[in-house]
Amino acid sequence: MSLHSWARWPTHWPRTLFARLAVILFVGLALAQTLSFWLTMTERDQTMTNVMMGYIEREVVSSVALLDHLPPDERAQWLPRLARRSYEFVLGPGISGAPVDASLSERVARSIDDGIGSRYPLTVNAVPGDRERLQVHLKLSDGTPLTIDMRPMSGAPLSRWLPLVLLLQLVVLAACCWLAVRLATRPLHQLALAADTLGPDLKADRLPEDGPSEVARAARAFNAMQDRIATYMTERMQILAAISHDLQTPITRMRLRVDVMEGEAEGAKLRQDLQEMEALVKEGVTYARTMHGTTEVPCRIDPDALFDSLVCDYVDAGKDVSLQGRFGTSLTTRPQALRRIVGNLVDNALKFGGSAEIVVAALHDGQITISVLDSGPGIPAESLEAVFEPFYRVETSRNRHTGGTGLGLAIARQLALAMDATLSLHNRSSGGLEARLTLRNLT
């Protein structure tokens, strides 16, 4: 499996940058610590083995020489004195066995042979058993058989406090990795949080421009970008507001002149055009204000009462609007923005489907969906997102009665973004369109 495919495997690879960096650092440092410990212990064992070989060679040479010079009847008394932890002397032929094949036993036999092999002919064999054991057989000057029974010891035993030290090192290593990764990823978390909270109102908290040079530079760039966007949006709103204000006067004069025209048919047509111009100007100003953000403060409301009032207004006007489901709890939101969004969606449903059904559903994760259903022709799949663009209309006749101004859904989407909600469109399998608004119950 390649590294690229392994990195995309969610079962083995964490999704967050914090977890990935922490795993990489901890595993890398732990492996380096383990390798260092293994090298240290290997060098320690080799050093101890070399020291032990030299010690055995010297001690065995002196002990055999001593036993060779002692009278035969005194040699047995000296055997316990000459015994060591890893070997002892036995007067006798010893135990026969197979040739030595263990590496440590071979080194011990070779070391003894180097010390006394030139003076005393030696034979070496392994002794069967669970532990590594060998015997060296020789004869003293008077022909007495002597056996050196050896149990080689590899290295020195570990101290009991060493595992605790190793565990403490791993704990310190994990804590240092967590702290390092935390310090490294915190600026990214703050940047992502600031970007998420940067809504249409452009009132997100400014990032602190301190810390390491790279972090400070990124924070300054983000703050400068936020200021530039706010400036552009303010200029855009001011331009649209100025155009609207300047157009109000000539439109009013034109309406007065139309009212005194003699031709009733032509006057009605011009009056209708002026009404459409005025509506378009007002929608443009509304869209500019929603792009700049809403100043409405979220508050706790009774959403059931709000939707009952909204539906009753449409029913009183003779519109076919119904409500299914209830919230059953209070809701913290921006009521005017919510009413405007749902009103725009209901108007679209009535315009293209003749009727509208509002369905309310509460999800288990604290989210609430408000769906506006119609039985109209729906929208082509490739245009479900494009209709949220300003002045975009699926209906291309340019007739304001059938196509509208092209700003209703754009205004609804901008208001939804200002409320930290999600607005999407879906074609229904039974025909018609579903406009789905998903929002969180702020507490």
C-alpha 274/C-alpha 258 separation (Å) is 10
What's the confidence (pLDDT) of residue 214?
Answer: 75
C-alpha 79/C-alpha 379 separation (Å) is 105
C-alpha 424/C-alpha 411 separation (Å) is 13
More confident site: 352 or 7: 352
Domain interval for residue 322: 296-440
Q: Which of 134-143, 230-239, 420-429 has the lowest mean pLDDT?
A: 230-239
Same domain, 314 and 394: yes
- If you average pLDDT over each of 48-52, 93-97, 140-144, 152-156, which comes out highest? 140-144
What's the confidence (pLDDT) of residue 30?
Answer: 84
Q: Sign of dihedral through CA atoms 26, 27, 32, 33?
A: positive
Same domain, 203 and 160: no
Considering only the C-alpha atoms of the chain, give the largest distance between any 2 of them, rounded to a whole number of Å. Answer: 156
The helix (H) or strand (E) run that includes residue 388 is none
Domains in the chain, number: 3
- Is the full-model pTM beyond 0.85? no
Same domain, 45 and 155: yes
Within 367-411, strands assigned E span: 367-373
Residue 98 reports pLDDT greater than 90? no
Same domain, 228 and 316: no
Same domain, 330 and 432: yes
Q: Sign of dihedral through CA atoms 216, 221, 224, 226?
A: negative
- State the residue for tokens 């608004």: 437
What confidence category does residue 7 fall into, taking pLDDT thresholds of 50, 70 and 90? very low
User: What would the pLDDT profile of 401-425 be if each residue is shown by its tens digit?
Assistant: 555 566 778 888 888 887 888 899 9
User: What would the pLDDT profile of 30-58 be if each residue is shown by its tens digit?
Assistant: 888 888 888 887 777 777 777 777 777 78
Mean pLDDT of 295-324: 88
Same domain, 289 and 320: no
Residue 206 reports pLDDT greater than 60? yes
Here the CATH number for the domain that contains residue 258 is 1.10.287.130
345 within domain boundaries: yes
